Structure 1
Amino acid sequence: MAKVHPQAPLSSSSPGYFTSKQETFTIWMKSLILNGHGCTVFDSNGQIVYRVDNYDSRGRAKVHLMDLKGQILFTILRKKSKFLGVWEGYRSSNGKEINLKNTPRFQVRRSFKGKSACKVIVGLDKNQIQQYRIESWSKGKSACKILDKFGRLVAEVKRKQSTCGVVLGEDVLTLVVEPFMDHSLIVGLLVVYGLINRKL
């Protein structure tokens, strides 16, 4: 089997979540756990920076976005709603299970109107609430883009191409994140998008 990112060994160094330049990641829609569901995210050097491992089934109601060491960054929960799917992301401050009595860091609601696949609210516990939307532009529901409330591009996901222009399989994606965005938050939002579309 071909390697998704063959040029660099695994690293245990913790990544910075913000950078002042555009960053590119590779998302492999596979878990590192045998017979598990999830995804693995590599940085531009081929080092694993984020992972999601579901042991039971796709589309679980509770998943953890972790770093390479298995420290929890976000716990993502599906809330029961009569009409719309609602997901909430709780940031972990100590890398362990979070207190669900805390206010979630973000909320994602599935949208059935217009071009938006999902509506996102970030910063539910603060006065400065940020709003985003996730738009799907692929029949396979893998490729998408995240826009802010003014329609500016924040992040984009599409099928990965090799250096010689060959498009890789549907389970290998490129994520491009614009400067000064929290990479872990963007990956958390994409995890919800994958859960909604039963890709994880």
Structure 2
Amino acid sequence: MPRIHPNFPVSDSPASSNSSITAGDEPAVLTVWQKSLLLDCSGFTVYNAKGNLAFRVDNYSTSSLNEIVLMDAVGVALFTIRKKALNPFNFSTSTQRFTLTDQWDIYEGEGATPTRPCFSASKQFSLLRSKSLAHVTSLGAAAGGTLDSNYSVEGSFSHRMCAVYNGMQQKVSEIRPKEVVGDVTFGGDVFSLLVQPGFHCALAMAIVILLDRMFGPRASWITG
């Protein structure tokens, strides 16, 4: 197996800055590995540009992933992503199309009964070709009031070529194939996540998880 990260997966410090808002003039470059560090788990392992562990997702159940917890390097829950009940088909005579909405809620942290999500995400399946994959709607300020915005995702997740845009159509994060290192090539389970300055790295990764559930091989309905 090619080496995905240069360092042993240990965080820099308990108060890692990888989950915070990016700063500086250059985007943060993360390497996303669609594999859990734990045996018999499915999930994600994410490394920063220095090769240190940034985020992790460990799920023991592979058959039903309707609740997913995104953690930082030391296991602190950052976001809990929960699937909502599937909506029935909706037919619109004005646009002559029907849609099936796959909806998820994003909560801060982890709790048994969180009362209010900070984001709601939806996938729109349409018979008409569209570059739009999903929408993430803010339900109130989160993470210190820094995430109070709406986002759209465009591109192709299956080809690992898609981007997240804010309400002003500014690109805030981007998924790209992992660059070839020497003679080593990477499959689709290893890819790059670029997060622009001023955007929250943890939210960018939460959106990656949503796209995997909506369009990945374990998607609960129609994949794209």
TM-score scaled by structure 1? 0.86
- SS of 2:202's equivalent in the other structure is helix
Q: Does 1:192 pair with 2:210?
A: yes
Distance (Å, rounded) in 2 between the aligned partners of 1:59 and 1:196: 13
- SS of 1:111's equivalent in the other structure is strand
Distance (Å, rounded) in 2 between the aligned partners of 1:3 and 1:159: 16
- SS of 1:57's equivalent in the other structure is coil
Q: Does 1:19 pair with 2:34?
A: no
Q: Does 1:125 pair with 2:120?
A: no
Q: Does 1:89 pair with 2:106?
A: yes
Deviates more, 1:82-91 or 1:23-32: 82-91
Deviation at 1:58, TM superposition (A): 5.3
Q: Superposition RMSD on alpha carbons, in Å?
A: 2.3
Per-residue Cα deviation, 1:141-181 (whole angstroms, up to 9, x for no partner): 53321112232211111110134485422111011110010
**Uncovered stretches (5+) of structure 2, i.e. residues with no partner:** 89-100, 219-224
* Aligned length in residues: 194
Mapping 1:60-139, distance limit 5 Å: 60-83=65-88, 84-92=101-109, 96-97=110-111, 99-101=113-115, 103-113=116-126, 114-122=130-138, 124-126=139-141, 129-137=148-156
Distance (Å, rounded) in 1 between the aligned partners of 2:63 and 2:72: 20
| Higher Rg of the two aligned structures | 2
Provide closer, same or farther for how the CA distance between residues 199 and 178 of structure 1 changes in structure 2, counting only shifts above 3 A.
farther
- Work out the percentage of aligned pairs sharing the same amino acid: 28
Provide closer, same or farther for how the CA distance between residues 180 and 59 of structure 1 changes in structure 2, counting only shifts above 3 A.
farther
Deviation at 1:86, TM superposition (A): 0.7
Of 160, 164, 173, the residue aligned with 1:146 is 164
Distance (Å, rounded) in 1 between the aligned partners of 2:70 and 2:180: 27
